[in-house]
Structures are given as structure tokens and as C-alpha cells.
Chains A and B, each alone.
Chain A
């Protein structure tokens, strides 16, 4: 998957940009306001001009942070009271939390890394999954309407954390042999290393984090643009066009509705993919041979 991704995402980006130019040319005539990249650079509302300036998207991120902390704080108090009371049957809320945490733990971490290593890296894996999902899902929550992960900063920070972690895991397990394993795969005739080693370097140490970050951000960015296009077109057809043109609004609204559902799926899927690739990369670092 990560091999395909670098080809996919620039394509996605050009598509998005084409969409933008088309939308803005349309905007000149009828007062139709299509989506634009400006959506992703709202004005700062706090600390303008500083390195910690806050705009709408940063506010959304902080809101997601608070929401995640509150939800999981309550969950962890449930855990504590259950442990203290020796109550082994979970309450409904606790069960939901256990299903969510258990999904990441069993279906992602343990499946890829095994029990021992899975639990070792579980904090990072869990954090990445819920952070990405929380940030993604704001894209379809009315009032927020933009994913916290649609700016590349977050994706870069997460990808860097993954990068550092899988290199750390490899060095911890194999010492410097990790770099030998990743750059000079065994079973390749020596002269071919001239060809293979740069490719491996590019793929393992540059493309892995880059595709992780790009895949997430571009998916969210494209999702937002699609939704905005559908709903602003609906608005335009219903309230600004005449006669039969209004009927088109129904179609665009339906599209918007379907894409909203689709974005829920994408929000989950991207969180899953990001987390799964994290575990895959760690697993590859831990593996004895490539």
C-alpha cells in the first residue's frame, strides 16, 4: 500500500487543484462560492503573529484534545472503580471504551506485533489511532466542518513520531545491524546493492513517513473540498438560481449526504490505515530479516 501511495497522492492533489480552479471560475459569474484552499488558512483569532498563533483549525484541534481527554478520563475512572469494587462486568460506557481500546490493542497491535511487543508500543499506537480519528471526524461535525488533520502539521508530527519509533525499535533490537538489514537486504548479489540500497533507503527512510503524512492530510483535504462543493452548490441551486435549476439542488444535496457518510468511513479508515502502517513499520524493524 505504501508503495502505491506516493503515486496516488500527487494525483489527488492535482485533481483537487483542478476542482478549485473550476470552482473559482464559476464563482466569478453567479455569486457561487465554491471551496478553496483558503478554507485551510483561516484568520488567527489568538496570539496573532506568534509561533503559537491560534486559528479556527487550531481551536478545533484543542477541542478534540479536550474531548478525548474528557471521554477517556471518565473511562479511566470507570476502570478504577471497577478494579476497586472488583466488578468484572463492565458498565455500558465502560464496555464501549473497552471495545474501542480493545480494537486497537487486539486487532492492530497484537495482530501485527504479537502480545509482548504490541503492549510495548501500545501507548503510541493507541494515541495515534484516537488522535487521527478524533481529528478526522470533526470534518463532518456540523459547526466544525473541517478536519483537524487536514493541515499537514499534525500528520507530520505523527509521522515523525512513527519514524522515530520504528528506528528506535530497530536499533534497540538489532543495534546498527538494523540499518544493515534495511539497506542491504540479504540474498541480493553484491553488485546489485548499488541499485537496491538507494531504493531501500528512499523507500524505508523517506517515503514511509512522507506517505503516512500525505495520505492522511490529502484525504481529509479532499474530503472537505468535496463536502463544501456539494453543499455550497446545493445552497446556490436552492436559493440563487431560477426555475428548474433549483431541482439540481436535490441532486447535489444527496451527493453531499452520501459523501458525509463516506467521510465517516474515511475518517475511521484513515485512522486505521495510519495506525496499521505504524505497527507494520515497527514490525518490519523488529523482524530479523527483511
Chain B
């Protein structure tokens, strides 16, 4: 057996002393148990947790990104919609404007026609009035002229009026006849 006594001398470096082997084993066994039971499980768990967390966060980021993309699409769609709506409103307004303009024009034409008609009626009335007064005057003048020509025989008003009326009636029938022609 190798004893401590031998190991204390200058020994062969290839042959271990018993205490050397003993303490080496002690140190090795303690460290092996320590790493096995205490250190490595915690190390593995830490790394696994970290991997899991990173993967989880990546997934969350991806989800968030998808959500953002979806929202962006939604907003773009809404924008497109409102643009289309605005165009529609504009178009409608244009059409309405055209209609209003046409209506106004129509109105103005009607007004103009009405004014023209009124003016025509008035002119006609005035012509009639002028005609009547002219007729009366012409009658008087004619009688005056005739009485001066005929003299006293025709002094009676009744006769004169009768003559004039019949003359006028004649005129009128002539007039009507000429119109009827």
C-alpha cells in the first residue's frame, strides 16, 4: 500500500499518492454533484425561459404588426370610400347646379314672355281706346263737315246722329267684309 510516508519523499510523478487520489475524488464528486444538481438546471431553465420569452415577444410583435396592417388597410378603405362619396356629392351638386340653372333660365323666359304678353295687351287696349276716341272725333269732324256742306237741312241732331251711325255701320260692315275677305 502506498502510504503518506512514501508520498512525502520525492516520488514518481506518474504514481499517485493515496491522499492525492482521495482529495481529488472528494473535489470531483462534490463539484460534479454541485454542477449537476444546482448550477446546470438553473442555467438550462434560464436559457429556456429566455428563448420562450423571445419567441413569445416575436409572436406578439408579429400579431401587432398584422393588426397595424389591418388597421392601415381599414383606414385606406375608409379614405377610398370618403373620396368616392365626395366625388359623388360633387357630381350630384354639378347636376343640381345645371338643373337650377335651367330652371332659372326657364323662369326668366317665362317672365319675359309674360312681360311681352302684358305689353302686347296694353298696346292693344290703347290702340282700341285710340280707335274709339278717333272714331268719335272722326264722327264729329265728319258731321261738322257734312253739316257745313249740307247746310241747315241737317240741323236736327237726331237725324245727324242717325246718318252718322248708319254711315259708321256701313263702314263697319265694309270693314268686316274686307276682313272677312
Contact = CB atoms under 8 A, between A and B. Distances in A.
A157 B22 CA distance: 9
Given A62-B27, A72-B38, A157 B21 contact: yes
Contacts, number: 148
Interface string B13-48: 111111111111101101110111011101111110
Interface residues of A, number: 61
Interface string B64-108: 000000000000000000000000000000000000000000000
Nearest to A55: B19
B34 A51 contact: no
Contacts of B141: none
A198 B30 CA distance: 37
B95 to A, nearest CB: 65
B4 interface: yes
B31 A154 contact: no
Using C-beta atoms within 8 Å of the partner chain, give the interface range for chain B: 35 or more
Contacts of B177: none
A261 B20 CA distance: 28
Contact of A53 (B19, B28, B36, B42): B19
A101 interface: yes
A44 B10 contact: no
Contacts of B34: 68-69, 72, 127
A131 B27 contact: yes
B4 A53 contact: yes
A37 B12 CA distance: 9
Interface stretch (B49-57, B125-133, B154-162, B164-172): B49-57
B8 interface: yes
Nearest to A97: B43
A8 interface: no
